[in-house]
Structure 1
Amino acid sequence: MTYHLAGDSTVAPAKPDELPMTGWGSYIEPVVEAPVRNLAYGGATTESFLADGTWARLLDGVAAGDVVVIQFGHNDQKLPELGARGGYTVRLRGMVDDVRARGARPVLCTSVERRWFDGDQVIATHGDYPNAVRDLAHELDVPLIDLTAFTTWLYEDLGPEASVALLSHFAPGEHPLWPDGLADDTHFHERGARRIAAFVGRSLRAIERRDGDRPAMGSQLVS
Protein backbone atom coordinates (compact mmCIF):
# COMPACT_ATOMS: atom_id res chain seq x y z
CA MET A 1 0.00 0.00 0.00
CA THR A 2 1.15 3.52 -0.83
CA TYR A 3 0.03 6.85 0.61
CA HIS A 4 -0.41 9.62 -1.97
CA LEU A 5 -0.51 13.26 -0.85
CA ALA A 6 -2.34 16.10 -2.62
CA GLY A 7 -2.10 19.60 -1.21
CA ASP A 8 -0.36 22.94 -0.96
CA SER A 9 2.95 24.18 0.46
CA THR A 10 2.08 23.18 4.03
CA VAL A 11 2.12 19.55 2.81
CA ALA A 12 4.75 19.81 0.05
CA PRO A 13 8.32 18.47 0.09
CA ALA A 14 10.98 20.96 1.04
CA LYS A 15 12.86 22.95 -1.55
CA PRO A 16 16.56 22.32 -0.79
CA ASP A 17 17.41 26.02 -0.68
CA GLU A 18 14.52 26.73 1.72
CA LEU A 19 15.27 24.09 4.35
CA PRO A 20 14.50 23.91 7.25
CA MET A 21 11.21 25.39 5.91
CA THR A 22 9.18 22.41 4.74
CA GLY A 23 5.74 20.80 4.58
CA TRP A 24 4.59 17.99 6.84
CA GLY A 25 4.34 15.48 4.00
CA SER A 26 8.10 14.99 4.01
CA TYR A 27 8.03 13.26 7.38
CA ILE A 28 5.09 10.86 7.54
CA GLU A 29 6.75 7.84 5.92
CA PRO A 30 8.54 6.64 9.09
CA VAL A 31 5.28 6.97 11.03
CA VAL A 32 3.00 5.08 8.61
CA GLU A 33 5.78 2.59 7.74
CA ALA A 34 4.71 2.53 4.09
CA PRO A 35 5.78 4.30 0.89
CA VAL A 36 4.63 7.92 0.54
CA ARG A 37 4.26 9.74 -2.78
CA ASN A 38 4.00 13.48 -2.17
CA LEU A 39 2.72 15.56 -5.12
CA ALA A 40 1.74 18.63 -3.08
CA TYR A 41 3.28 21.93 -4.17
CA GLY A 42 3.39 25.56 -3.12
CA GLY A 43 0.49 27.78 -4.18
CA ALA A 44 -1.74 24.85 -5.12
CA THR A 45 -5.52 25.13 -5.08
CA THR A 46 -8.07 22.45 -5.84
CA GLU A 47 -8.48 24.16 -9.21
CA SER A 48 -4.78 24.41 -10.14
CA PHE A 49 -4.08 20.85 -9.00
CA LEU A 50 -6.64 19.63 -11.51
CA ALA A 51 -5.93 22.12 -14.29
CA ASP A 52 -2.16 21.60 -14.47
CA GLY A 53 -2.42 17.82 -14.62
CA THR A 54 -0.97 17.07 -11.19
CA TRP A 55 -4.13 15.31 -10.05
CA ALA A 56 -4.16 13.15 -13.18
CA ARG A 57 -0.52 12.29 -12.57
CA LEU A 58 -1.28 11.38 -8.97
CA LEU A 59 -4.18 9.14 -10.04
CA ASP A 60 -1.98 7.39 -12.59
CA GLY A 61 0.10 6.04 -9.71
CA VAL A 62 -2.81 5.00 -7.48
CA ALA A 63 -3.55 1.28 -7.10
CA ALA A 64 -6.43 -0.49 -5.38
CA GLY A 65 -5.94 -0.44 -1.62
CA ASP A 66 -3.84 2.75 -1.64
CA VAL A 67 -4.74 5.83 0.40
CA VAL A 68 -4.95 9.37 -1.00
CA VAL A 69 -4.67 12.19 1.56
CA ILE A 70 -6.11 15.53 0.41
CA GLN A 71 -5.48 18.90 2.10
CA PHE A 72 -6.26 22.19 0.37
CA GLY A 73 -7.76 25.50 1.48
CA HIS A 74 -4.93 27.96 2.19
CA ASN A 75 -4.86 29.21 -1.38
CA ASP A 76 -8.44 28.37 -2.36
CA GLN A 77 -9.71 30.88 0.18
CA LYS A 78 -7.81 33.64 -1.62
CA LEU A 79 -9.98 33.09 -4.72
CA PRO A 80 -13.64 34.01 -4.19
CA GLU A 81 -14.72 31.92 -7.16
CA LEU A 82 -13.50 28.83 -5.27
CA GLY A 83 -15.88 29.54 -2.39
CA ALA A 84 -15.97 27.12 0.53
CA ARG A 85 -19.42 25.82 -0.46
CA GLY A 86 -18.83 26.27 -4.18
CA GLY A 87 -15.96 25.29 -6.44
CA TYR A 88 -13.81 24.16 -3.50
CA THR A 89 -16.13 21.42 -2.31
CA VAL A 90 -17.25 20.56 -5.85
CA ARG A 91 -13.63 19.75 -6.69
CA LEU A 92 -12.99 17.91 -3.43
CA ARG A 93 -16.08 15.80 -4.09
CA GLY A 94 -14.76 14.96 -7.55
CA MET A 95 -11.38 13.99 -6.09
CA VAL A 96 -13.06 11.65 -3.61
CA ASP A 97 -15.03 10.06 -6.45
CA ASP A 98 -11.87 9.63 -8.56
CA VAL A 99 -10.02 7.92 -5.73
CA ARG A 100 -12.85 5.57 -4.92
CA ALA A 101 -13.25 4.68 -8.59
CA ARG A 102 -9.73 3.23 -8.43
CA GLY A 103 -10.54 1.08 -5.42
CA ALA A 104 -8.42 3.33 -3.21
CA ARG A 105 -9.38 5.21 -0.06
CA PRO A 106 -9.58 9.01 0.21
CA VAL A 107 -8.83 10.86 3.44
CA LEU A 108 -9.78 14.54 3.75
CA CYS A 109 -7.85 17.01 5.92
CA THR A 110 -8.85 20.46 7.06
CA SER A 111 -6.19 23.14 6.60
CA VAL A 112 -3.43 23.59 9.13
CA GLU A 113 -4.11 26.82 11.01
CA ARG A 114 -1.92 29.89 10.75
CA ARG A 115 -0.10 30.80 13.95
CA TRP A 116 -1.89 34.09 14.55
CA PHE A 117 -2.51 34.88 18.19
CA ASP A 118 -4.87 37.28 19.91
CA GLY A 119 -3.59 37.13 23.46
CA ASP A 120 -3.36 33.44 24.34
CA GLN A 121 -5.86 32.30 21.71
CA VAL A 122 -5.23 31.45 18.06
CA ILE A 123 -7.33 33.41 15.56
CA ALA A 124 -9.31 31.28 13.11
CA THR A 125 -8.18 32.39 9.66
CA HIS A 126 -9.89 29.98 7.24
CA GLY A 127 -13.49 31.09 7.54
CA ASP A 128 -15.98 28.42 6.48
CA TYR A 129 -13.44 26.24 4.67
CA PRO A 130 -12.74 23.83 7.56
CA ASN A 131 -16.45 23.38 8.25
CA ALA A 132 -17.08 22.76 4.55
CA VAL A 133 -14.52 19.93 4.60
CA ARG A 134 -15.96 18.49 7.82
CA ASP A 135 -19.45 18.53 6.35
CA LEU A 136 -18.30 16.96 3.09
CA ALA A 137 -16.43 14.20 4.92
CA HIS A 138 -19.56 13.43 6.93
CA GLU A 139 -21.78 13.49 3.84
CA LEU A 140 -19.50 11.21 1.81
CA ASP A 141 -18.46 9.00 4.75
CA VAL A 142 -14.79 9.83 4.21
CA PRO A 143 -12.24 9.71 7.05
CA LEU A 144 -11.31 13.20 8.26
CA ILE A 145 -8.10 14.41 9.88
CA ASP A 146 -8.94 17.75 11.47
CA LEU A 147 -5.65 19.62 11.20
CA THR A 148 -7.32 22.97 11.85
CA ALA A 149 -8.38 21.77 15.29
CA PHE A 150 -5.10 19.99 16.00
CA THR A 151 -2.80 22.86 15.05
CA THR A 152 -4.97 25.37 16.93
CA TRP A 153 -4.68 23.20 20.04
CA LEU A 154 -0.94 22.66 19.50
CA TYR A 155 -0.14 26.36 19.19
CA GLU A 156 -2.31 27.33 22.14
CA ASP A 157 -0.92 24.52 24.28
CA LEU A 158 2.63 25.71 23.66
CA GLY A 159 1.65 29.38 23.90
CA PRO A 160 2.60 32.42 21.81
CA GLU A 161 6.32 32.26 22.59
CA ALA A 162 7.15 28.54 22.48
CA SER A 163 5.03 27.88 19.40
CA VAL A 164 7.28 30.17 17.34
CA ALA A 165 9.77 27.28 17.10
CA LEU A 166 7.32 25.27 14.97
CA LEU A 167 7.17 27.88 12.19
CA SER A 168 9.71 29.45 9.86
CA HIS A 169 11.16 32.27 11.95
CA PHE A 170 14.76 33.17 11.12
CA ALA A 171 16.87 35.97 12.55
CA PRO A 172 18.77 38.30 10.21
CA GLY A 173 21.75 36.45 8.79
CA GLU A 174 20.50 33.05 9.96
CA HIS A 175 19.30 31.83 6.55
CA PRO A 176 20.93 32.73 3.21
CA LEU A 177 17.61 32.96 1.38
CA TRP A 178 16.25 35.55 3.85
CA PRO A 179 19.28 37.62 4.87
CA ASP A 180 17.08 40.22 6.55
CA GLY A 181 15.28 37.56 8.58
CA LEU A 182 11.82 36.00 8.25
CA ALA A 183 8.73 35.71 10.44
CA ASP A 184 6.43 33.27 8.61
CA ASP A 185 3.48 32.00 10.65
CA THR A 186 2.09 29.76 7.88
CA HIS A 187 5.00 27.59 6.75
CA PHE A 188 6.60 25.08 9.07
CA HIS A 189 10.12 24.80 10.31
CA GLU A 190 11.25 21.18 10.13
CA ARG A 191 10.47 20.92 13.87
CA GLY A 192 6.86 21.84 13.28
CA ALA A 193 6.53 19.71 10.15
CA ARG A 194 7.62 16.67 12.14
CA ARG A 195 5.03 17.35 14.84
CA ILE A 196 2.22 17.64 12.29
CA ALA A 197 3.47 14.58 10.41
CA ALA A 198 3.46 12.52 13.60
CA PHE A 199 -0.19 13.43 14.18
CA VAL A 200 -1.19 12.78 10.56
CA GLY A 201 0.72 9.52 10.43
CA ARG A 202 -0.79 8.18 13.63
CA SER A 203 -4.23 9.28 12.49
CA LEU A 204 -3.74 7.38 9.23
CA ARG A 205 -2.64 4.29 11.11
CA ALA A 206 -5.77 4.55 13.28
CA ILE A 207 -7.92 4.83 10.14
CA GLU A 208 -6.22 1.74 8.71
CA ARG A 209 -6.85 -0.23 11.90
CA ARG A 210 -10.48 0.85 11.88
CA ASP A 211 -11.10 0.15 8.21
CA GLY A 212 -8.59 -2.63 7.53
CA ASP A 213 -11.09 -5.48 7.76
CA ARG A 214 -13.67 -3.84 5.50
CA PRO A 215 -13.81 -5.49 2.07
CA ALA A 216 -13.98 -3.77 -1.30
CA MET A 217 -17.42 -3.49 -2.87
CA GLY A 218 -17.37 -3.02 -6.62
CA SER A 219 -15.03 -0.17 -7.44
CA GLN A 220 -15.58 1.57 -4.12
CA LEU A 221 -14.21 0.53 -0.77
CA VAL A 222 -16.71 0.52 2.05
CA SER A 223 -15.76 3.26 4.50
Structure 2
Amino acid sequence: MLSFARAALRRRGARPVWVAGALLLVPAVVKRPLLDLAVTGTVARIVAFIGVGVMMIAIGSAALRAAAATGSQSLMTSQPGGHEMPLRRMKQQPATARRRCPALLLSLLAAAFSATADPRLRCQIEQGGTVQVLDVAPVADPYSVAPVTINGRFRFKAVVIGDARRIAYINLYTYFQTERRLVLLHQAKYIAPTIASDPAATLTGWNYLYSPGRERELQYRCTLVEVAP
Protein backbone atom coordinates (compact mmCIF):
# COMPACT_ATOMS: atom_id res chain seq x y z
CA MET A 1 0.00 0.00 0.00
CA LEU A 2 2.82 2.34 0.83
CA SER A 3 4.55 1.64 -2.47
CA PHE A 4 1.27 2.26 -4.35
CA ALA A 5 0.94 5.66 -2.67
CA ARG A 6 4.52 6.53 -3.61
CA ALA A 7 3.85 5.63 -7.26
CA ALA A 8 0.70 7.77 -7.26
CA LEU A 9 2.66 10.68 -5.85
CA ARG A 10 5.29 10.27 -8.54
CA ARG A 11 2.62 10.34 -11.24
CA ARG A 12 0.94 13.32 -9.63
CA GLY A 13 4.24 15.17 -9.41
CA ALA A 14 5.04 14.51 -13.08
CA ARG A 15 1.64 15.68 -14.31
CA PRO A 16 2.38 19.45 -14.01
CA VAL A 17 5.54 18.92 -16.04
CA TRP A 18 3.61 17.25 -18.87
CA VAL A 19 0.88 19.90 -18.74
CA ALA A 20 3.49 22.67 -18.92
CA GLY A 21 5.13 20.97 -21.89
CA ALA A 22 1.79 20.67 -23.68
CA LEU A 23 1.07 24.36 -23.07
CA LEU A 24 4.44 25.28 -24.56
CA LEU A 25 3.82 23.04 -27.56
CA VAL A 26 0.44 24.59 -28.45
CA PRO A 27 1.70 28.10 -29.42
CA ALA A 28 4.55 26.55 -31.42
CA VAL A 29 2.12 24.40 -33.41
CA VAL A 30 -0.29 27.32 -33.95
CA LYS A 31 2.52 29.68 -34.98
CA ARG A 32 3.82 27.27 -37.61
CA PRO A 33 0.92 27.38 -40.12
CA LEU A 34 -0.15 30.95 -39.38
CA LEU A 35 3.20 32.78 -39.51
CA ASP A 36 6.17 30.65 -40.54
CA LEU A 37 4.55 28.70 -43.39
CA ALA A 38 3.09 31.85 -44.89
CA VAL A 39 6.51 33.12 -45.96
CA THR A 40 8.10 29.88 -47.17
CA GLY A 41 8.01 28.03 -50.46
CA THR A 42 6.07 24.89 -51.24
CA VAL A 43 8.90 22.40 -50.63
CA ALA A 44 9.98 24.10 -47.40
CA ARG A 45 6.36 24.12 -46.22
CA ILE A 46 6.01 20.36 -46.77
CA VAL A 47 9.29 19.55 -45.00
CA ALA A 48 8.44 21.80 -42.05
CA PHE A 49 4.93 20.35 -41.77
CA ILE A 50 6.25 16.79 -41.67
CA GLY A 51 9.04 17.70 -39.24
CA VAL A 52 6.64 19.25 -36.74
CA GLY A 53 4.32 16.25 -37.02
CA VAL A 54 7.15 13.75 -36.45
CA MET A 55 8.25 15.73 -33.40
CA MET A 56 4.73 15.67 -31.96
CA ILE A 57 4.41 11.92 -32.56
CA ALA A 58 7.77 11.35 -30.84
CA ILE A 59 6.70 13.42 -27.83
CA GLY A 60 3.40 11.57 -27.58
CA SER A 61 5.12 8.19 -27.86
CA ALA A 62 7.59 9.13 -25.12
CA ALA A 63 4.75 10.27 -22.87
CA LEU A 64 2.89 7.01 -23.47
CA ARG A 65 5.95 4.94 -22.58
CA ALA A 66 6.51 6.95 -19.42
CA ALA A 67 2.88 6.51 -18.37
CA ALA A 68 2.98 2.80 -19.12
CA ALA A 69 6.19 2.32 -17.12
CA THR A 70 4.80 4.21 -14.12
CA GLY A 71 1.48 2.38 -14.28
CA SER A 72 3.09 -1.05 -14.55
CA GLN A 73 5.33 -0.33 -11.57
CA SER A 74 2.37 0.71 -9.43
CA LEU A 75 0.48 -2.46 -10.39
CA MET A 76 3.43 -4.66 -9.56
CA THR A 77 3.88 -3.15 -6.12
CA SER A 78 0.21 -2.92 -5.19
CA GLN A 79 -0.91 -6.35 -6.45
CA PRO A 80 1.95 -8.78 -6.02
CA GLY A 81 -0.26 -11.83 -6.46
CA GLY A 82 -2.34 -11.09 -9.53
CA HIS A 83 -0.78 -8.48 -11.76
CA GLU A 84 -0.06 -10.55 -14.91
CA MET A 85 -3.07 -9.55 -17.01
CA PRO A 86 -3.02 -5.81 -16.16
CA LEU A 87 0.73 -5.69 -16.63
CA ARG A 88 0.45 -7.36 -20.02
CA ARG A 89 -2.07 -4.75 -21.11
CA MET A 90 0.23 -1.94 -20.01
CA LYS A 91 3.11 -3.47 -21.97
CA GLN A 92 0.95 -3.71 -25.07
CA GLN A 93 0.29 0.03 -25.16
CA PRO A 94 3.72 1.10 -26.50
CA ALA A 95 3.56 -1.65 -29.13
CA THR A 96 0.13 -0.41 -30.21
CA ALA A 97 1.50 3.12 -30.46
CA ARG A 98 4.37 1.89 -32.62
CA ARG A 99 1.93 0.14 -34.96
CA ARG A 100 -0.05 3.34 -35.30
CA CYS A 101 2.97 5.51 -36.13
CA PRO A 102 3.18 4.54 -39.86
CA ALA A 103 -0.51 5.36 -40.33
CA LEU A 104 -0.05 8.68 -38.56
CA LEU A 105 2.97 9.51 -40.70
CA LEU A 106 1.07 8.71 -43.90
CA SER A 107 -1.83 10.89 -42.78
CA LEU A 108 0.59 13.67 -41.95
CA LEU A 109 2.25 13.40 -45.37
CA ALA A 110 -1.14 13.57 -47.11
CA ALA A 111 -2.10 16.61 -45.05
CA ALA A 112 1.19 18.32 -45.88
CA PHE A 113 0.71 17.88 -49.62
CA SER A 114 -2.93 18.94 -49.42
CA ALA A 115 -1.81 22.10 -47.58
CA THR A 116 0.29 23.28 -50.51
CA ALA A 117 -0.80 26.66 -51.82
CA ASP A 118 -1.74 27.74 -55.33
CA PRO A 119 0.19 30.49 -57.15
CA ARG A 120 -1.43 33.89 -57.60
CA LEU A 121 -0.24 37.10 -59.19
CA ARG A 122 -1.06 39.89 -56.73
CA CYS A 123 -1.05 43.34 -58.30
CA GLN A 124 -1.38 46.59 -56.35
CA ILE A 125 -2.66 49.44 -58.53
CA GLU A 126 -2.76 53.06 -57.38
CA GLN A 127 -4.50 55.79 -59.34
CA GLY A 128 -6.19 59.03 -58.38
CA GLY A 129 -5.76 58.47 -54.64
CA THR A 130 -7.32 54.98 -54.69
CA VAL A 131 -5.64 51.60 -54.23
CA GLN A 132 -6.91 48.42 -55.86
CA VAL A 133 -5.48 44.93 -55.29
CA LEU A 134 -6.02 42.16 -57.83
CA ASP A 135 -5.34 38.46 -57.27
CA VAL A 136 -5.01 36.75 -60.65
CA ALA A 137 -5.15 32.96 -60.93
CA PRO A 138 -3.40 30.95 -63.68
CA VAL A 139 -5.42 30.15 -66.79
CA ALA A 140 -4.87 28.07 -69.91
CA ASP A 141 -6.47 30.45 -72.42
CA PRO A 142 -5.02 33.98 -72.57
CA TYR A 143 -8.06 35.28 -74.46
CA SER A 144 -10.38 34.44 -71.58
CA VAL A 145 -8.94 37.22 -69.39
CA ALA A 146 -10.82 40.52 -69.44
CA PRO A 147 -9.22 43.85 -68.48
CA VAL A 148 -10.13 45.55 -65.20
CA THR A 149 -11.29 49.18 -65.30
CA ILE A 150 -9.38 51.55 -62.99
CA ASN A 151 -11.37 54.69 -62.06
CA GLY A 152 -12.98 54.76 -65.50
CA ARG A 153 -9.73 56.06 -67.02
CA PHE A 154 -7.34 53.14 -67.27
CA ARG A 155 -7.67 49.44 -67.90
CA PHE A 156 -5.30 46.83 -66.53
CA LYS A 157 -5.03 43.23 -67.64
CA ALA A 158 -2.83 40.50 -66.14
CA VAL A 159 -2.61 37.21 -68.01
CA VAL A 160 -1.05 34.35 -66.05
CA ILE A 161 -0.57 31.22 -68.15
CA GLY A 162 0.08 27.95 -66.31
CA ASP A 163 -1.37 25.81 -63.57
CA ALA A 164 -0.95 25.11 -59.86
CA ARG A 165 2.45 23.45 -60.43
CA ARG A 166 4.16 25.80 -62.87
CA ILE A 167 3.70 29.27 -64.36
CA ALA A 168 4.74 29.36 -68.03
CA TYR A 169 4.64 33.14 -68.51
CA ILE A 170 2.90 36.34 -67.41
CA ASN A 171 1.75 39.17 -69.68
CA LEU A 172 0.78 42.57 -68.28
CA TYR A 173 -1.11 45.22 -70.24
CA THR A 174 -2.06 48.78 -69.26
CA TYR A 175 -4.43 50.84 -71.41
CA PHE A 176 -5.80 54.36 -71.29
CA GLN A 177 -9.46 54.83 -72.12
CA THR A 178 -10.07 57.66 -74.59
CA GLU A 179 -13.45 58.73 -75.91
CA ARG A 180 -13.10 56.51 -78.96
CA ARG A 181 -10.73 53.66 -78.19
CA LEU A 182 -8.21 52.07 -75.86
CA VAL A 183 -4.60 53.24 -76.10
CA LEU A 184 -1.91 50.75 -75.04
CA LEU A 185 0.47 52.47 -72.63
CA HIS A 186 2.58 49.62 -71.38
CA GLN A 187 3.16 45.91 -71.97
CA ALA A 188 5.50 43.56 -70.09
CA LYS A 189 6.19 39.84 -70.30
CA TYR A 190 7.85 37.54 -67.73
CA ILE A 191 8.94 34.05 -68.78
CA ALA A 192 8.71 31.20 -66.25
CA PRO A 193 8.64 33.42 -63.14
CA THR A 194 9.22 31.87 -59.73
CA ILE A 195 7.89 32.71 -56.29
CA ALA A 196 10.46 34.69 -54.34
CA SER A 197 11.54 33.45 -50.93
CA ASP A 198 11.59 37.05 -49.67
CA PRO A 199 7.98 38.22 -49.09
CA ALA A 200 9.04 41.84 -49.66
CA ALA A 201 10.38 41.11 -53.15
CA THR A 202 8.19 41.98 -56.15
CA LEU A 203 8.14 40.56 -59.64
CA THR A 204 7.77 43.85 -61.50
CA GLY A 205 8.83 46.59 -59.10
CA TRP A 206 6.91 49.87 -59.26
CA ASN A 207 5.84 51.00 -62.72
CA TYR A 208 4.75 54.62 -63.33
CA LEU A 209 2.53 55.27 -66.35
CA TYR A 210 1.03 58.51 -67.65
CA SER A 211 -1.96 59.07 -69.89
CA PRO A 212 -1.54 61.14 -73.06
CA GLY A 213 -2.66 64.73 -72.95
CA ARG A 214 -3.76 65.25 -69.35
CA GLU A 215 -0.92 63.09 -67.98
CA ARG A 216 -2.90 61.24 -65.36
CA GLU A 217 -0.64 58.89 -63.43
CA LEU A 218 -1.10 55.20 -62.67
CA GLN A 219 1.29 53.14 -60.54
CA TYR A 220 1.35 49.38 -60.18
CA ARG A 221 3.49 46.55 -58.93
CA CYS A 222 2.90 42.80 -59.05
CA THR A 223 4.19 39.95 -56.88
CA LEU A 224 3.91 36.22 -57.46
CA VAL A 225 2.60 34.74 -54.20
CA GLU A 226 1.08 31.52 -52.88
CA VAL A 227 -2.47 31.44 -51.58
CA ALA A 228 -3.80 28.60 -49.44
CA PRO A 229 -6.70 26.77 -51.12
Q: Same fold (TM over 0.5)?
A: no
Say which structure is richer in helix: 2
When Rg is computed on C-alpha atoms for both structures, the one with the higher figure is 2
Quickly name the TM-score band, shorter chain normalised. Answer: under 0.3
**RCO (CA 8 Å, sep 6+): is it higher in 1 or 2?**
1
Name the one with the larger strand percent. Answer: 2
TM-score, structure 1 normalization: 0.27
